[in-house]
A and B are shown apart, each in its own frame.
Chain A
Amino acid sequence: MSDRNVLDENLAALVGRVYVPVVLRPEYRAGLEAEFLARIATLPGEDVGSVPLRWTRVAALVVAAAALVLAVLWIAPDSSTREEILGRGNVAWRSLLREKWREQAPAVELPLSRLPIEIETPARAGVALERGTQHAALDPDSFARVWEGHDSDDVDFFLERGGITIEWRAETAVPNEARWRIVADSGRVLLEHGLLTARVVGDALEVELVSGSARVFLGSGESFALDVGERGRLADGRFVRDVPGEESAELAELQDPASPSVRNVVDAEVEMKPGVPELERDPLTATVVLAITGSDGAPLAAADTVRVATLLITDLPNYETSGIARPKLRPDGTFALGGVAPGRYWIDVEEPEHALWRGGPYTLEPGAEKTITVALEGSRTVSGVVVDPAGEPVTGAWVVSEHEMPQQPIAMVREQLSPLLAGIAETDDAGRFSLELSSGEHILRASHGDHAAGWSETLTISAGITIDDVRIALTRGGRIHGRVEREDGSPWEGVDLIASHVEYGRMQQQMSYSATTTDAFGEYAVSGLPPGHYAVFIPGVDNLEMKFLDLRPGGDVEVDFTRSFTGARVFGRLTTPGGAPVARTGVSLNLKGATSRQQDDHHFSYSDEDGRYEFREIPPGDYEFFVTPDQGMTVLKVGWIEVPDWVAVERDLEIPAASIEGRVWDGVLGVPMARAVVVLLAITGPEDSGEFVGRIFTDQEGRFRFPHVQRDHYRVVAIAQSAVRGFETVEDVLPRQDDEPLELVLFEGAVVLTTVVDEAGNPIAGAGVSFTDEVGLVIPFSELELTDARGAHVANGVRPGAWRLRVAAEGYAPQERLLDVTEGTLEVKFELSR
C-alpha cells in the first residue's frame, strides 16, 4: 500500500470514526451570538467630530440628534457596583451571562436582546425598554429580570420590586406572535395586546389591565382572561380580584399588617417559570439544593416555613443580601432554590422553630447545582436589658447579633438595613429584649436614636446554658462636624460625607457608618455616634482623602475638608406656563456645539414630582437644555444655561405649551410610516439652514407630536429610517392648536450611482461626492461621502427633483453637474483631469 493510501486509510479511521466534534450548548451559542451582535451594533463607527467640513449644519445636527437618540451606553468602570451606579441616579443593568454591572442614563431607552438581563432603576428615575412594537417602562426604584423564552420570542419580566408598565401596540391580539409576560411566584400574566401595569406590593403582585386583553395563568393550571379595567393581586397561588367599594377578606388576608417593617421582602429567586412541578435548570444561573434536617435529626418535611437568604460576597469581608426566597420542596425531600446568579455566597437558612443557620462561602456556577447539607439547631433564647448612660432602661432600642447580620458594613440607622433573615429584637417598657440565636459566639449591638450604639461582651451560646442577664449600655452620643470648602475658601453645599466606625480586636472586624450632606454653608454634622476610632471621608472622589480621629463618649470633634472644584451644581424647576410642574421627565444638558458622544458633553437627570431637577459636577460652559419625555423617545430643546465656574446655579425653566403634530406617510405603499425620524429646526428665513430644536420618532400610526414648542417659525423634516424613501420637508411651520396636523409623505427615493475616473479611465478612490438640493442644503446619503476602490458611490433614497452633484478629489479639478432626478436609478460618470 502506498504512503498516500496509508495516510488516507488512517485519516478515514481517525477523522471518520474516532473524532468526536465538540458540541456547543444551544443556549450558550444563542446567548453569545446575541451579546456579540449587540456589541457590534454599539461600535462607535466614524467619530462625528472628524466628519468632513462639507457637511452642513443640518446634516451634522441630524447626526447629533441621532446620537442623542441611540442608546448612549457607556461601560462603567469595573469597580462600579450596583449601588454606586444607582447612587449616581443612573440605571444599573447587567447581562446574566456576565457579572459586571453597567450604567445607563435613565432617560435613554434600554434595548432588549435575547440575553437575560437584570435591571435596577434608581430612586428617582425609571427606564424604557423597547423591542419592535412592544414597549415597557420600569418605574423608579424597581428591580426586574428580563429574558426571552428559550423556545420562543416571548419576553418575560420577573418583577422583584417596584412597578412596570408593558404595552403591545398592535390593533388586535395577534395569535402565535411573541408575547410579553409578567412572571411571578404564583403565576404569570400574558399581555395579548394593549396596556398592562403591575406592581409589587408586599408579597403580592398587583396587576391592572388598562386596555386591550390579557390572560392570567396560575400554577395550578387554571387560566382566565382579565377584563379591561380589572385589577387584582397574584399571591399564594391565587389571583384575587379587586372589587371596588367592597372589603375583601381575601385581600385583607394578603396584606398581613402584622409583618415587621424590616421584613420588606419580596420572595424572589425561585424558579423562573412558576407552576412547573420540576425545577427547570437554567444554564445561566445556579441552583442551590439543601438537604435540611431539624434539631431532632429528621429531614424537614414542610417547605412553607423555610426561608433562604443568599448573601453575595462582593469583596471580603463585605457581603450583602442578594435575595431572600422560599425554596421548593422536591420529591426527594431536598429543598431547591433556582435562578441564583453565579458568584460566591454565604447562605442563610431560617426556620422559625430553629436557630438561623449560615454556611459558606460557596461558589455557585452557572447551570450547576450545589448541594449543601444543613443541620438546623434549636435556637437558644438570649435575653437582657438595654440601659442608657445613666443606667436607666431604654424602651424601643433595637438589638441584633452582629454575628448574624448579613450586611457589611452595618448601618447605624435601622431604615438603612437591607432585608435580612437575622432576628431583630426591640426592648419593651422595662428595657428588656429577647433574641433567638444559634450556637456559637455572638456580640449583640443595641441602638436607639437618642443615644450612641452599645455592644455586649462576647457571648458563647450553646445547649444547656441559659443567658438572660445580658446588659448593654448605650453611650453618650458623640458628634463629628465640620465644613467642606473649595480652594478659594467658599462653602461647598451638597457634598456627601461618611463617618465610618471600625472596631478591631473583636471576633471579627465590624464596620458601622453614618452618612450626611453639607448644607448651604458647607457645614455638616453627624450625631449620636458611639465612642471609638473613626474615618471620615467624601465618597466617590478620585483622590480620596480620609481623616481619622478618636471620639470619646459624648465627644465633639471638628473635621474640615478642602476640595478642588469638579463642577457646578445646576438645579431648578420645570413648569408649564400655567405653573404646573413638569414632573418625572427626563432632562439633559448638552454642551453647545458638541457633536461627539463623549460622556463629558452630555449629562442626564430626571425631574421629580414637583418638577425639580438637579445636575451635579457640571464643568463650566454653555449648555443646551433638553427635555426628553417619553423616556427619550422625544428630544426637545427648551433653553440655554450658562454654567459658571462656581458652586451652583439655579435655573427655573418654563416649558412652552404649544405643540406641533402631524403624520408621516409612506407615499409608495400608502400607509402610515412608523419609526420615521422627524426633526424640528427653528428658522429665521427661507435660506436659513435652521437650528436643531428637537427630534421624535413616529408611532405605529405614523403620528408624531412635539409637545413643548416655543412660538417660532420651524422647518419640519421627516426622514425614513431605511434608505429607500426620500425625505420630506415642510417649511415655515408655526405651532398649531386647532388646525389640521401636518402631513408629510415620503415617496420612493431614487438611486444615483456616481462613478469617478481619471483621464485614463482608471477609477479614483476616495473622491468626495456631495448632493445639494434646490434650497441649497447639502444632504448626505451615506456615512462616508467618498467613492470606493472602484471609484463608485451609491446614494439611496434621493428625493426626485433638481440636485447639484459635485465631485472633488485631491490633485484633480472638481466638477459639478445639475441633475434632474426621477424615480429609478440614475448613473452619472465623472472624468476628472488634473
Chain B
Amino acid sequence: MVEPNTIRLDEIRIRDRILSGDREEAERFFGRHLDPLFEFVHYRVGGNRAVTEDVVQDTMLVAVERFETFDGRSTLHTWLCGIAKNKIRAHRRKKRAVALEDVLAETDPEIDTILTAIDSEPLPEWILERRETRELVGATLSSLPPDYRRTLVQKYVDGMSVSEIAESEGKGEKAAESKLHRSRLAFARVFQLLAGRRGGVE
C-alpha cells in the first residue's frame, strides 16, 4: 500500500519533463491518459457524447494550466479525474436535479442481487444481454486505475496469456499474474459497489 505521504517520483518526473517543454513526453502523456479519462467522464454524464467531449476538453486544458500544482501524491490519472469531477459537478448543477425516487424506480432489485454475486455465482446469459449490465461494465472499468483496466482488456478482450501480458509490460510472469489477480478483485469490488447502488455512480 502506498503511504499517504509518498511522492510518486516517476509521475513528478513526467510532470517536470512536460513543463520543461519535452514535446514527446507531452505526446505520451496525452496518448496514455485521454482514453481512460474519456471513459471515466462518459459514464458519469449519462453517456452524452457532446457533454463528454466538452468536459474532457476542459479537463485536459485545465490540466495544462495547473500542471505545476501536481505534487505526486496521487497518480496523474487520479489527478485528472479529480479535475474532471469538478467539471462534471458543474455540468450537473446546470441540469435539473433528478429526484432520488426516480433513480430508485429505475433499479431492478433482482438484477442487482445477481450482479453483486459476481465473484461467487456464474452470471446468467440474459443478464449479459441487458443494457444496464453493459453500462455497469463500462462504468466499472472507467473507475479502475489505467493499468488495471489495461490488464483486464489485454486478458479478456485481446485474449492475451499471462506470459504475453508480462512481455508487453516488460515484467516477469509472476508480477503479471499478481497484477491480473489484483485487477480482477478490483473489478469485482467496484462492480459490486456500483451494482449495489445502481444509478449513483460516484
0/1 string, A156-180, CB within 8 A of B gives 1:
0000000000000000000000000
**Which residues on the B side are within 8 Å of A783 (C-beta)?**
20
Please encode chain A, from 1 to 32, with 1 for each CB lying within 8 Å of some chain B CB and 0 for all others.
10100111111111111111110110011001
| Shortest Cβ distance from residue A691 to the other chain B in the assembled complex, whole angstroms | 29
Contact yes or no, B133 A18, CB < 8 A: yes
Given A6-B121, A11-B187, A783-B20, residue A18 in contact with residue B39 (CB < 8 A)? no
Q: Which of A34-42, A206-214, A464-472 lies at the interface?
A: A34-42
CA distance A25 to B57 in the complex (A): 13
CB atoms of B60 and A36 under 8 A apart: yes
Q: What distance in Å separates the Cβ of B185 from its nearest Cβ neighbour in chain A?
A: 8
- Chain A positions within 8 Å of B, measured between CB atoms, are 1, 3, 6-22, 24-25, 28-29, 32-33, 35-37, 39-41, 43, 45, 97-98, 365-366, 783
A16 and B61 form a contact (CB under 8 A)? no
Q: Which B residues are in CB contact (< 8 Å) with A36?
A: 26, 30, 60-61, 64
Chain A residues closer than 8 Å to B156, beta-carbon distance: 11-12, 14-16, 19
Looking across the interface, which residue of chain A has its beta carbon closest to that of B124? A13
B84-92, B104-112, B134-142 - the one binding chain A: B134-142
Q: Within the assembled complex, what's the spacing in Å between the Cα atoms of A24 and B56?
A: 11
A16-B156, A45-B21 are contacts. A10–B123 as well, Cβ < 8 Å?
yes
Contacting pair B138 A20 (CB below 8 A): yes
Set of chain B residues within 8 Å of A28, measured between Cβ atoms: 53
Known contacts A15-B157, A36-B61, A39-B61, A6 near B18 by CB under 8 Å = no
Check A35–B21 contact: CB distance below 8 A.
no
Give the contacting residue for B138; candidates A7, A16, A19, A24; CB below 8 A.
Answer: A19
Q: Is B175 positioned at the interface, with any CB of A under 8 Å from its CB? A: no
Given contacts A21-B39, A29-B34, A40-B18, 13 further A-B contacts (CB under 8 A): A7-B119, A7-B188, A8-B184, A11-B187, A14-B118, A18-B128, A18-B137, A22-B52, A36-B26, A36-B60, A40-B64, A43-B19, A43-B64
15 intermolecular pairs with C-beta atoms under 8 Å apart: A6-B122, A11-B155, A11-B156, A11-B187, A15-B156, A19-B153, A20-B134, A21-B138, A22-B52, A29-B34, A32-B34, A32-B56, A36-B61, A37-B26, A43-B67
Taking CB atoms, residues of chain A closer than 8 Å to B64 are: 36, 39-40, 43
Whether A24 touches B38, Cβ cut-off 8 Å, given contacts A15-B157, A32-B56, A45-B19, is: yes
Q: Are B153 and A15 in contact, with the CB atoms below 8 A?
A: yes
Instruction: Give the complex CA separation of A779 and B54 in angstroms.
Output: 46
Which residue of B39, B120, B128 is within 8 Å of A22 (Cβ)?
B39
Complex Cα distance, B53 from A36, in Å, reads: 14
Partner of B42, one of A9, A22, A97: A22
Chain A residues closer than 8 Å to B159, beta-carbon distance = 16
Contact of B123 among A14, A25, A43 (CB under 8 A): A14
With known contacts A33-B30, A37-B26, A43–B21 Cβ distance under 8 A: yes
A417 smallest CB distance to B (angstroms): 35
Residue of A nearest to B47 (CB): A22
Chain B 48-67 interface residues, beta-carbon cutoff 8 Å to A: 50, 52-53, 56-57, 60-61, 64-65, 67
Secondary structure type dominating chain B contacts: helix
Chain B residues whose CB sits within 8 angstroms of the CB of A12 once the complex forms? 156
Is B167's CB within 8 Å of the partner chain A?
no
Instruction: For residue B70, give the distance in angstroms from its CB to the closest CB of chain A.
Output: 13
Q: Which residues of B contact A19 (CB under 8 A)?
A: 134, 137-138, 141, 153, 156-157
| B19 surroundings in chain A (CB, below 8 A) | 43, 45
A41 vs B67: C-alpha distance when bound (angstroms): 13
The smallest beta-carbon distance between A114 and chain B, in angstroms, is: 13
B102 interfacial contact with A, CB 8 Å: no
Where the two chains meet, the residues of B that have a C-beta atom closer than 8 Å to any C-beta of A are 18-21, 23, 26-27, 30, 34-35, 38-39, 42, 50, 52-53, 56-57, 60-61, 64-65, 67, 118-123, 128, 133-134, 137-138, 141, 152-153, 155-157, 159, 184, 187-188, 191
**In whole angstroms, how far apart are the Cα atoms of A24 and B153 in the complex?**
17
Q: Which residues of B contact A9 (CB under 8 A)?
A: 122
CB <8 Å contact, A14 and B122: no
Residues in B whose Cβ lies below 8 Å from that of A24? 34-35, 38
Inter-subunit contact B39/A7 (CB<8 Å): no
Nearest neighbor of A40 in chain B, beta-carbon distance: B26
Chain A contacts for B38, CB-based, 8 A: 22, 24
Residues of B with C-beta under 8 A to A29? 34
Q: Is the CB of A13 within 8 A of B138?
A: no
Inter-chain contacts of A22 with B (CB < 8 A): 35, 38-39, 42, 52, 138
Top-7 shortest CB links A-B: A15-B156, A16-B156, A39-B64, A7-B119, A40-B26, A22-B42, A19-B137
Shortest CB–CB separation between residue B150 and chain A, in angstroms?
Answer: 12
B157 CB → nearest A CB, Å = 6
The reply to whether B141 and A15 form a contact with Cβ atoms under 8 Å apart is yes
In the bound complex, residues from chain B placing their C-beta under 8 Å from that of A16 are 156-157, 159
Cα A8 to Cα B42 with chains together (Å): 26
Contact B118 A10 (CB under 8 A): yes
Complex contact B152–A11 (CB within 8 A): yes
Q: Is the CB of A17 within 8 A of B128?
A: yes
Collect the chain B residues with CB atoms within 8 Å of residue A17's CB.
128
Residues of B within 8 A of A21 (CB): 39, 138, 153
Tell me if B60 and A32 are in contact (CB < 8 A): yes
Alpha-carbon gap, A77 to B156, bound state (A): 49
Which residues from chain A contact B138 at a C-beta distance below 8 Å? Answer: 19-22
Shortest Cβ distance from residue A448 to the other chain B in the assembled complex, whole angstroms: 48
Closest to B40 in A: A22
Chain A residues within 8 Å of B133, by CB: 14, 18
When distances are taken between beta carbons in the complex, the residues of chain A under 8 Å from B42 are: 22
Distance from A346 Cβ to chain B, minimum over Cβ atoms (Å): 22
